[in-house]
Amino acid sequence: MELPDLRILDVIDILLVAALTFYLYRLVKGTPAINIFIGIVIIYIIYSITETLKMELLSRALGAFTGAGVFALIVVFQQEIRKFLLMLGSTNFTSRKGFLKQLHFFKDDIDTDHTAVDQIVKACGEMSNTFTGALIVIKRDGSLDFVKNTGDEQDIVVNTSIIKSIFFKNSPLHDGAMIIEGNRITATRVILPVSDNRSIPQRFGLRHRAAVGVTERSNAIAIAVSEETGQISLINNAEFETFENLEDLSVRIKKHLE
Ligand SMILES: Nc1ncnc2c1ncn2[C@@H]1O[C@H](COP(=O)(O)OP(=O)(O)OP(=O)(O)O)[C@@H](O)[C@H]1O
**ipTM field:** 0.93
Number of domains in the chain: 2
The domain in which residue 173 lies consists of: 106-257
Residue 231 sits in the same domain as residue 134: yes
Q: Is the CB of 227 under 6 A from ligand 1?
A: yes
Q: Is the pLDDT of residue 84 over 90?
A: no
What's the pTM?
A: 0.67
Contacts of 103 (CB under 8 A, 6+ apart): none
Residue 67 sits in the same domain as residue 170: no
Ligand 1 atom with minimal separation from the 175 CA: 31
pLDDT band of 3, cuts 50, 70, 90? low
Distance 205 CA to ligand 1 centre (A): 6
Ligand 1 atom with minimal separation from the 193 CA: 1
pLDDT band of 8, cuts 50, 70, 90? confident
In a domain, residue 246? The reply is yes
d(CA 33, CA 20): 16
Distance 221 CA to ligand 1 centre (A): 17
Residue 162 sits in the same domain as residue 62: no
Residue 80 sits in the same domain as residue 195: no
Q: What is the mean pLDDT of residues 124-136?
A: 97
Sign of the C-alpha dihedral, residues 172, 178, 181, 182? positive
Residue 146 sits in the same domain as residue 243: yes
The domain boundary, picked from 94, 126, 145, lies at: 94
Sheet holding 239-241, edge to edge: 152-157, 184-190, 177-181, 134-138, 221-225, 232-236, 239-241
List, in sequence order, every residue forming a beta bridge with 232; answer none if it has no partner. Answer: 225
In a domain, residue 215? The reply is yes
Looking up residue 173, the CATH number of its domain turns out to be 3.40.1700.10
Residue 170 sits in the same domain as residue 46: no
Q: Is the pLDDT of residue 106 over 60?
A: no
